Structure 1
Amino acid sequence: MRFKSLKLVLSILVIGFAVWFGTKWTSEAETTDTPGSANDPVVTKSYIDKQVAELVKAELAKQGGGVDDKKLQEMFDAFREEMAQSGGSSSKVEVVTVPVGKRLVAKDGAEFIVRAGKAMAYSSDANGISDLTDGVDIKNGKPVPNNHFILFPRGGRGVTAQVGQKAALTVLVRGDYEMQVQQ
């Protein structure tokens, strides 16, 4: 009889502890801030630009040199122009049609996605092209799957239409490239 009452008391303690722990754990999980709330606000680009401008003004004033709003705006405009020029065509996605008998060869850092047609990898050396979707290296002459993200860290590699294909390839390209005649 004494053993049964001990089991009953222990069972009640275990259940009580489980209920207490469950409510404590749940309440701690709910204390995380919701994105977009007052404790975790969504920040816009204009807000960041304004805060950076204020910090730059404060830092320049601290160093003894003052900058008016017009000069600060000119500095920002020059910076944006410089960033746009350094990004060049690499930030723009272009739809390129690759006719049969030609190959699309990437420059350093270009990205391709074959959208239509059957493509084969082209590489002038032993290395292939990087298929980031599957995480594999596609060797020269092997098929390139459609809708896969292909990266070219070094130029001189590309894609061409598979042998016997009559239709052109459609490829999305980000970065610099050139069209070459197959030999």
Structure 2
Amino acid sequence: MKKTTIRVVIGAALLLVGFGIGFLNPKAIEADGVSTTPGSIDDPVVTKSYIDEQLAKLSGGGSGAGNGSGSSSSGSNTDSSLKVVSVPSGKVLLGDEGTEIILRVGKAVAYSSDSSGIVDLTGGKDLVKGNTIASNHLLLMPRSGRGVTAAAGYTKSLTVLVRGEYKLQSVN
């Protein structure tokens, strides 16, 4: 019985010594043998501003907008931010494929040159030409030539947020 007790005590003592060495000297139990301190040259800290700067370099430096001549004007918002656009009464904002629109101010209806419509992602439904658009709903243009225009009888400008390519055109 004494031999078993002595073996248990010696085993426990060896375990405690092993744990003690590990806690006092973390390098002794590192897997790769290299100590890295967060923020050091071996393990740099990457900030959001650095990532944004690198992404801007890759995408060519940001967004641009241009105005056409005649009865239509066009614009773009090629970065991932939303652009505030005013849509005068009597005009339609036509988005290219993949353009996102959010109605912020005004009463608007969906516009499409064919029987299909636009996607109301917030409401989870399709809006065909003439359907009322709810404020603050995210709309997606599945194809070019679809967009939003002021509802009948609404004479003020619409205010919308746009992400992607678009153009303003007179309503036919």
**Which TM class, normalised by the smaller chain length?**
0.5 to 0.7
TM-score (norm 2): 0.58
Partner of 1:143: 132
Q: Distance in 1 between matches of 2:154 and 2:105?
A: 12
Q: Which runs of 5+ in 1 are unaligned?
A: 1-43, 49-75
Cα pair 2:62 2:79 within 8 Å, conserved: no
Runs of 4+ in 1 over 3 A off after TM superposition: 83-88
Residue by residue over 1:98-152, the C-alpha shift from the partner in whole angstroms, topping out at 9 and shown as x without a partner, is 0000000001111000001000000111111000001000010111111100011
Query: How do 1:1-183 and structure 2 match up within 5 A?
Result: 46=46, 81-84=57-60, 89-183=78-172
Cα pair 1:90 1:176 within 8 Å, conserved: no
Residue identity opposite 1:162 in structure 2: A
Q: Distance in 1 between matches of 2:58 and 2:139?
A: 28
In the TM superposition, residue 154 of structure 1 has moved relative to its aligned partner by: 1.6
SS of corresponding position for 1:153: coil
Compared CA separation, residues 117 and 156, structure 1 to 2 (3 A): same
Compared CA separation, residues 111 and 90, structure 1 to 2 (3 A): farther
Q: Distance in 2 between matches of 1:180 and 1:107?
A: 13
In the TM superposition, residue 92 of structure 1 has moved relative to its aligned partner by: 2.4
> Structure 1 vs Structure 2: percent identity of aligned residues?
44
Cα pair 1:92 1:175 within 8 Å, conserved: no
Q: Distance in 1 between matches of 2:83 and 2:108?
A: 18
Aligned length: 113
- CA RMSD between the two structures: 2.7
Residue by residue over 1:72-117, the C-alpha shift from the partner in whole angstroms, topping out at 9 and shown as x without a partner, is xxxx96x752335698624121111100000000011110000010
Q: Distance in 1 between matches of 2:119 and 2:96?
A: 14
In the TM superposition, residue 166 of structure 1 has moved relative to its aligned partner by: 1.4
Task: Name the structure with the higher helix share.
Answer: 1
